[in-house]
């Protein structure tokens, strides 16, 4: 490393882009990598429609695992900062994976399609970021198309997501008449479709164009000035501390596809996005990123390129200190130590062996089945576990068995590993110990079935028991099996906690009325 470790750590900016499918996350990622010099041409990161695959496409992607693995973490340097972008699956059926990835970032960029406004998947992902109190930067995309009025978009953002906003810039015109943006933050106008130095025009003390320009005659310019004045008087103030707490989102208008406003966005984002943040342990100790000891946690496990070997890559977010290849670490959950000699780092189009990495970075550890999602990894004298990653309440359930009973050993091994990866959730019935799987999205089951067949050579029978309302129990000892009936069943989760699966909300309410002393709760 070229700089002292504390400077290296302070230079890290680790974030994810969240959006509803089609809002422009892939396009934005490509443009950012392009500015970061990580790729030569925007458009080479991955197949265009990875965010929108049908099951069959997913299988295809799975066959060429390389794609999904290498694009999981993208890294580049810009302006003395080392930027780590954590990629998240576009399909909502894999949202559990996305939620966990959001546990490993220090900031989020929210892409909004300005014609569509705030969409359902954006709301869900936003809530996860909100829960963590991380800063959220908003990019109102596709200004080159006719969309909703900018003020209307900001209002929608504030009302639907209950977050305050500050427009860093403001569009002048839209669609075919998109002239550029009024950059409130840098006091200039950034022109669309103009290359070179004249791209930026200065503003005077009154906040109007300081140079003569035909644009001043247009109604779009006048409208933008009027709206900006309104925001100056009645809008929120820019407040760095509130941005850092995730209470105020800076809003940028632009167009990822035509590459308008992306560079200004990147530069401003890097100025305000936080360096690696401390994390809390189970016993409420704060672990400082600048600590001299190494620590991290596993937020994602991905089956590796070669299904025949069933090796996997565990993604570690480094929380503190520095990693060096060959160092020994301990996983406190199993009190086992490992020498980390096979590790990998992720670049846009290649994987390379990583020798050194610091807090804020993501490294991939080769795993032969030792790690599981949420594991803490520590070096030196450290001995603690980070707070558990949140578990998510699944809504869909299947009862699953092996087609061929002779394969039962492989069946259980496959399930165990896929559950450890976080690909699917595991439950079992109380006495018969039948396996029930829970998922957030239907595709998770299909991928499960496919992988069981391809990687563990087991064909499974899945009996859909439909969507259920799952509830955990605070006072388990008060629960009796006789409380279940036609519209509810009692199962155990993978940690042996009792869980009620209700047929629907109605059954849940009926239960609540009948057994008011049983305290139920749901996970995220």
Numbered residues of the known binding site: 19-26, 87-91, 141-144
Q: Please report how close the Cβ of residue 35 comes to ligand G4P at its closest, in angstroms.
A: 15
Question: Phi/psi of residue 416, each to 5°?
Answer: -55, -45
Which of 71, 141, 249, 425 binds ligand G4P (CB under 6 A)? It is: 141
Question: Of 174 and 319, which has the nearer Cβ to ligand G4P?
Answer: 174
Q: Please report how close the Cβ of residue 225 comes to ligand G4P at its closest, in angstroms.
A: 24
Q: Per CB under 6 A, does 171 bind ligand G4P?
A: no
Per residue, the 3-state secondary structure of 192-203, as one string, reads CCCCCHHHEEEE
Residues 66-105 as b or e (16 or more Cβ within 10 Å = b): ebbbbbbbbbbebeebbbbbbbbbbbbbbbbbbbbbbbbb
Q: Per CB under 6 A, does 142 bind ligand G4P?
A: yes
Q: Per CB under 6 A, does 145 bind ligand G4P?
A: yes
Tokens of 137: 């930067």
Q: Per CB under 6 A, does 180 bind ligand G4P?
A: no
Residue 137 CA to residue 319 CA, distance in Å, equals: 22
Q: Per CB under 6 A, does 24 bind ligand G4P?
A: yes
Helix (H) or strand (E) holding 425: strand 425-429
Q: Per CB under 6 A, does 112 bind ligand G4P?
A: no
Which of 89, 90, 117, 374 binds ligand G4P (CB under 6 A)? It is: 90
Helix (H) or strand (E) holding 30: helix 25-35
Q: Per CB under 6 A, does 122 bind ligand G4P?
A: no
Q: Please report how close the Cβ of residue 375 comes to ligand G4P at its closest, in angstroms.
A: 30
Question: Phi/psi of residue 93, each to 5°?
Answer: -65, -15
CA dist 135 → 102, 129, 240 (Å): 12, 8, 10
Q: Which of 368, 380, 282 is nearest to 328 (CA)?
A: 380
Q: Which of 230, 89, 80 is nearest to 170 (CA)?
A: 230
Q: Per CB under 6 A, does 26 bind ligand G4P?
A: yes
Residues present in the chain in total: 524
> What's the gap between Cα 280 and its chain centre?
19
Handedness of CA 479, 481, 486, 489 (dihedral sign): positive
CA angle 510, 514, 515 (to 5 degrees): 115
Binding segment toward ligand G4P, per CB under 6 A, in 140-148, 177-185, 196-204, 261-269: 140-148
Binding segment toward ligand G4P, per CB under 6 A, in 21-29, 61-69, 321-329, 359-367: 21-29
Q: Please report how close the Cβ of residue 95 comes to ligand G4P at its closest, in angstroms.
A: 14
Binding segment toward ligand G4P, per CB under 6 A, in 16-24, 336-344, 403-411, 421-429: 16-24
Question: Of 52 and 480, which has the nearer Cβ to ligand G4P?
Answer: 52
Binding segment toward ligand G4P, per CB under 6 A, in 117-125, 139-147, 164-172, 219-227: 139-147
Q: How many residues bind ligand G4P (CB under 6 A)?
A: 19
Which of 25, 184, 188, 312 binds ligand G4P (CB under 6 A)? It is: 25
Q: Please report how close the Cβ of residue 288 comes to ligand G4P at its closest, in angstroms.
A: 35
* First-last CA distance in the chain: 40
Tokens of 488: 């509810």
CA angle 7, 345, 264 (to 5 degrees): 60
Restricting to residues 216-275, which ones interact with ligand G4P according to CB under 6 A?
A: 255-258
Q: Per CB under 6 A, does 16 bind ligand G4P?
A: no
Q: Per CB under 6 A, does 22 bind ligand G4P?
A: yes
Annotated binding site for GTP: 19-26, 87-91, 141-144
Question: Of 256 and 469, which has the nearer Cβ to ligand G4P?
Answer: 256
Question: Of 145 and 351, which has the nearer Cβ to ligand G4P?
Answer: 145
Which residues of the chain form contacts with ligand G4P (CB under 6 A)? Answer: 19, 21-27, 48, 51, 90, 141-142, 144-145, 255-258
């Amino acid at each position: 490393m070229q700089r002292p470790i504390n400077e290296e750590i302070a230079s890290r900016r680790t974030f994810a882009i969240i959006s509803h499918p089609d809002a422009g996350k892939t396009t934005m990622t490509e443009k950012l990598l392009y500015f970061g010099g990580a790729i030569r041409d925007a458009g080479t990161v991955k197949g265009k429609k990875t965010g929108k695959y049908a099951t069959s496409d997913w299988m295809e992607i799975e066959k060429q695992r390389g794609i999904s693995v290498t694009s999981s973490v993208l890294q580049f340097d810009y302006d003395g900062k080392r930027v780590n972008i954590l990629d998240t699956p576009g399909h909502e059926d894999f949202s559990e994976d996305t939620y966990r990835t959001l546990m490993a970032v220090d900031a989020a960029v929210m892409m909004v399609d300005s014609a569509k406004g705030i969409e359902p998947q954006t709301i869900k992902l936003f809530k996860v970021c909100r829960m963590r109190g991380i800063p959220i930067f908003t990019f109102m995309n596709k200004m080159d198309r006719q969309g909703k009025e900018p003020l209307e978009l900001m209002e929608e953002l504030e009302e639907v997501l209950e977050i305050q906003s500050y427009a860093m810039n403001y569009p002048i015109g839209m669609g075919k008449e998109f002239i550029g943006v009024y950059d409130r933050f840098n006091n200039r106008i950034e022109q669309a479709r103009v290359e070179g130095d004249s791209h930026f025009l200065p503003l005077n003390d009154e906040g109007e164009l300081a140079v003569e320009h035909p644009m001043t005659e247009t109604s779009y310019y006048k409208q933008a000035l009027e709206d900006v004045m309104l925001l100056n008087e009645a809008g929120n103030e820019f407040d760095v501390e509130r941005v850092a707490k995730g209470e105020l989102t800076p809003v940028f208008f632009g167009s990822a596809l035509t590459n308008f406003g992306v560079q200004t966005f990147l530069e401003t984002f890097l100025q305000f996005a936080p360096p690696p943040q401390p994390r809390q342990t189970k016993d409420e100790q704060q672990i400082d990123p600048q600590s001299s000891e190494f620590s991290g946690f596993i937020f994602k496990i991905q089956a590796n390129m070669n299904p025949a070997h069933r090796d996997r890559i565990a993604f570690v977010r480094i929380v503190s200190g520095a990693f060096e290849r060959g160092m020994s670490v301990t996983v406190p959950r199993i009190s086992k130590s490992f020498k980390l000699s096979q590790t990998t780092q992720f670049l846009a189009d290649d994987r390379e062996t990583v020798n050194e990495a610091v807090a804020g970075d993501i490294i991939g550890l080769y795993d032969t089945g030792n790690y599981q999602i949420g594991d803490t990894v520590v070096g030196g004298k450290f001995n603690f576990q980070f707070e558990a990653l949140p578990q998510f309440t699944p809504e869909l359930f299947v009862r699953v068995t092996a087609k061929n009973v002779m394969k039962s050993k492989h069946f259980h091994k496959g399930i165990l590993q896929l559950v450890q990866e976080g690909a699917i959730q595991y439950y079992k019935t109380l006495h018969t110990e039948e396996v029930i799987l829970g998922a957030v999205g239907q595709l998770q089951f299909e991928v499960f079935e496919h992988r069981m067949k391809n990687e563990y050579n087991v064909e499974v029978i899945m009996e859909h028991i439909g969507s259920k309302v799952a509830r955990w129990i605070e006072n388990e000892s008060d629960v009796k099996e006789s409380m279940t009936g036609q519209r509810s069943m009692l199962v155990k989760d993978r940690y042996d906690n009792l869980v009620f699966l209700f047929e629907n909300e109605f059954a849940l309410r009926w239960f609540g009325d009948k057994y008011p002393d049983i305290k139920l709760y749901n996970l995220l």
